[in-house]
């Protein structure tokens, strides 16, 4: 277009006006389209080159998940930035960014110097002494846990480290949502844990059988390895779990158990009140028998337990299946089990137990069983057993009373003219222990145990008494030292029907829990 000399004075102001208004119109159009609003500062890989006197004095800028959501985003940006200020490089809008990471001080874990505990379900990752906490993706506006952002002395992870940590944290969070609220992944939930126990003792034993009794006579002192137990527990889902345990002490000729294998069972929980368990497990008979060795304040469970529960298999472990459950509204536990009668014997066992705790300091239990098997002569026999117990607990005092009766199915009734049915074995036991704290980790535990047992209810001179006294020393839950004295005395003159000879045993038992 040609400009005449007459219009030259008007064209120059119009050009100046257009050059000033066009940038303003373009900026308004871009702003209406939303371009440039969501700039997120990204930490560059490695230290950015700095220049100027403010390069070392400027603290790291606090990062927000979305600057547009912070109140400071409403403020008008300055027209120009000061010289020497760090300018964030442009980001790739086509790259899918992970949820933001917030750098926080390392939380205290269990066993830390301050004694505090970190929640077990907090998904955290560590890299180069930097602990990062993953912000939830569904709450992008969550503020940083530590006010003011990371301090000047806090190390800042590089961009690729933060990206890897965010992916790992996202996977852990997703696994926790799928499997439950405990924060464990599928692999962590499969193996719940393992533990072990070693029990060794030195004893001095003096045994004095009568002429009608058989067995060793004299004094004997020796070291014994009572247990070298390994337990492994598994949980595949919230409804399915399992346990396997073995005792390696049998390699030294222990006669208390018949094999290395102790527990090997799987448990399926339909509901809390009805569960199924199958494998090798304990029969639901006798509170004392079902109380773990690591919780007993003395060695051995008694005369009646050794004869009726273990030797004649009215209790102890067996291969079978059990239905059981817990009723929380009445604090009741029930068990019903079918199993093999005894190792190597044909037949079947049925045993059941009901336990209720009406008060915090009182619990009551009742159990019974029937057995169909063969005696030593090969004749089929049917026997029965029953028992009951009471448990008292008040503060640091624990006490138990228990009685039981079981038929001796191995007895040859045909060879005894005085019997028409299987004889009964009877037993009653009770013990009391008191925990006396000494400091924060040590406990003194005096214990008294008393028992009466009868191996044959028809014939006299078949009874015995057993008494134990000790003063145990406990260190946390790991170490127990049990110095005790055990006395066994037959009632009257022991006959051949009495299974227990007079003896005194002094022993020092050391138990280490792993």
Asked whether the CA dihedral 51, 54, 56, 58 is positive or negative, the reply is negative
Could you read off the pLDDT of 404-450 as tens digits, one per residue?
999 999 888 887 877 888 999 999 999 999 999 999 999 999 999 99
What pLDDT, on a 0 to 100 scale, did the predictor assign at position 345?
A: 86
Count of Cβ atoms closer than 10 Å to residue 78 Cβ? 7
Of 121-130, 210-219, 362-371, minimum mean pLDDT range: 121-130
Of residues 461 and 176, more confidence is placed in: 461
Confidence of residue 21 (pLDDT cuts 50, 70, 90): low
Could you read off the pLDDT of 473-510 as tens digits, one per residue?
999 999 999 999 999 999 988 877 888 999 999 999 99
What pLDDT, on a 0 to 100 scale, did the predictor assign at position 495?
A: 79
What pLDDT, on a 0 to 100 scale, did the predictor assign at position 167?
A: 42
Q: Distance between CA atoms of 366 and 404, rounded to whole angstroms? A: 10
Residue 129, phi-psi category: left (phi > 0), alpha (psi -120 to 50), beta (remainder): left
Instruction: Note the residue count of the chain.
Output: 514
Of 14-23, 26-35, 157-166, 251-260, minimum mean pLDDT range: 157-166
Average pLDDT of the segment spanning 375-403: 94
CATH class of 195-229+283-513: mainly beta
Q: Per-domain residue ranges for the chain?
A: 91-182, 195-229+283-513
Of residues 72 and 268, more confidence is placed in: 268
Number of H helices, E strands in the chain: 5, 20
pLDDT at 142 over 60: no
What pLDDT, on a 0 to 100 scale, did the predictor assign at position 132?
A: 35
Question: Which tokens in the block code for residue 468?
Answer: 């134990």
What pLDDT, on a 0 to 100 scale, did the predictor assign at position 24?
A: 57
Question: Which tokens in the block code for residue 239?
Answer: 């409804």
What pLDDT, on a 0 to 100 scale, did the predictor assign at position 137?
A: 37
Could you read off the pLDDT of 166-213 as tens digits, one per residue?
444 444 444 444 344 444 444 445 667 889 999 999 999 999 888 877
The position carrying tokens 């792993």 is: 514
What pLDDT, on a 0 to 100 scale, did the predictor assign at position 135?
A: 36
The radius of gyration of the chain from alpha carbons, rounded to an integer in Å, stands at 38
pLDDT at 156 over 70: no
With contact defined as beta carbons under 8 Å apart, do 230 and 248 qualify?
yes
147: buried, middle or exposed (CB in 10 Å: 19+, 13-18, 0-12)?
exposed
Of 71-75, 198-202, 320-324, 454-458, minimum mean pLDDT range: 71-75
Give the pTM. Answer: 0.63
pLDDT at 150 over 50: no
What pLDDT, on a 0 to 100 scale, did the predictor assign at position 435?
A: 97
What pLDDT, on a 0 to 100 scale, did the predictor assign at position 28?
A: 56
Question: pLDDT over 70 for what percent of the chain?
Answer: 61
Asked whether the CA dihedral 404, 410, 414, 418 is positive or negative, the reply is negative
Q: Distance between CA atoms of 464 and 487, rounded to whole angstroms? A: 10
The chain-wide mean pLDDT, for the chain, equals 75
């Amino acid at each position: 277009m040609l400009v005449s000399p007459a219009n030259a004075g008007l064209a120059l102001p119009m050009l100046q006006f257009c050059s000033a208004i066009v940038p303003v119109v373009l900026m308004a159009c871009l702003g209406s389209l939303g371009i440039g609003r969501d700039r997120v500062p990204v930490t560059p890989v490695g230290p950015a080159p700095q220049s100027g006197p403010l390069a070392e004095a400027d603290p790291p800028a606090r990062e927000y998940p979305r600057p547009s959501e912070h109140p400071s985003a409403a403020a008008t940006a300055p027209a120009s930035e000061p010289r020497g200020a760090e300018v964030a490089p442009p980001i790739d809008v086509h790259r899918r960014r992970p949820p933001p990471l917030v750098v926080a001080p390392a939380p205290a874990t269990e066993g830390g110097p301050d004694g505090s505990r970190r929640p077990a379900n907090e998904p955290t990752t560590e890299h180069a002494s930097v602990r990062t906490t993953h912000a939830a993706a569904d709450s992008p506006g969550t503020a940083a846990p530590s006010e003011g952002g990371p301090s000047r002395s806090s190390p800042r992870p590089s961009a690729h480290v933060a990206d890897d940590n965010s992916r790992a944290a996202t996977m852990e969070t997703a696994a926790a949502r799928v499997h439950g609220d405990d924060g464990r992944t599928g692999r962590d939930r499969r193996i719940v844990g393992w533990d072990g126990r070693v029990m060794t003792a030195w004893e001095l034993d003096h045994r004095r059988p009568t002429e009608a009794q058989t067995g060793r006579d004299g004094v004997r002192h020796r070291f014994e390895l009572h247990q070298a137990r390994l337990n492994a527990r598994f949980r595949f889902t919230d409804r399915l779990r399992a346990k396997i345990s073995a005792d390696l002490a049998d390699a030294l000729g222990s006669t208390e158990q018949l094999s290395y294998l102790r527990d090997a069972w799987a448990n399926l929980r339909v509901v809390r009140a009805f569960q199924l368990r199958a494998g090798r497990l304990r029969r639901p008979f006798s509170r004392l028998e079902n109380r773990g060795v690591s919780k007993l304040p003395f060695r051995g469970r008694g005369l009646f337990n050794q004869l009726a529960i273990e030797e004649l298999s009215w209790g102890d472990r067996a291969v079978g299946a059990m239905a059981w459950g817990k009723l929380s509204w009445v604090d009741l536990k029930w068990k019903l089990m079918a199993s093999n009668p005894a190792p190597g014997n044909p037949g079947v066992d049925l045993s059941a137990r009901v336990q209720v705790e009406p008060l915090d300091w009182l619990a009551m239990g009742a159990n019974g069983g029937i057995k169909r098997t063969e005696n030593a002569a090969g004749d089929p026999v049917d026997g029965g057993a029953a028992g009951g117990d009471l448990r008292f607990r008040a503060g640091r005092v624990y006490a138990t009373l228990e009685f039981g009766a079981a038929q001796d199915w191995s007895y040859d009734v045909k060879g005894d003219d005085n019997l028409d049915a299987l004889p009964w074995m009877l037993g009653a036991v009770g013990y009391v222990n008191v925990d006396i704290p000494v400091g924060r980790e040590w406990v003194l535990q005096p214990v008294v145990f008393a028992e009466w047992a009868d191996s044959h209810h028809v014939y006299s001179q078949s009874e015995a008494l057993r008494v134990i006294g000790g003063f145990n020393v406990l260190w946390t839950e790991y170490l127990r030292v049990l110095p005790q004295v055990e006395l066994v005395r037959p009632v009257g003159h022991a006959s051949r029907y009495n299974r227990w000879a007079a003896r005194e045993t002094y022993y020092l038992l050391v138990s280490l829990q792993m």
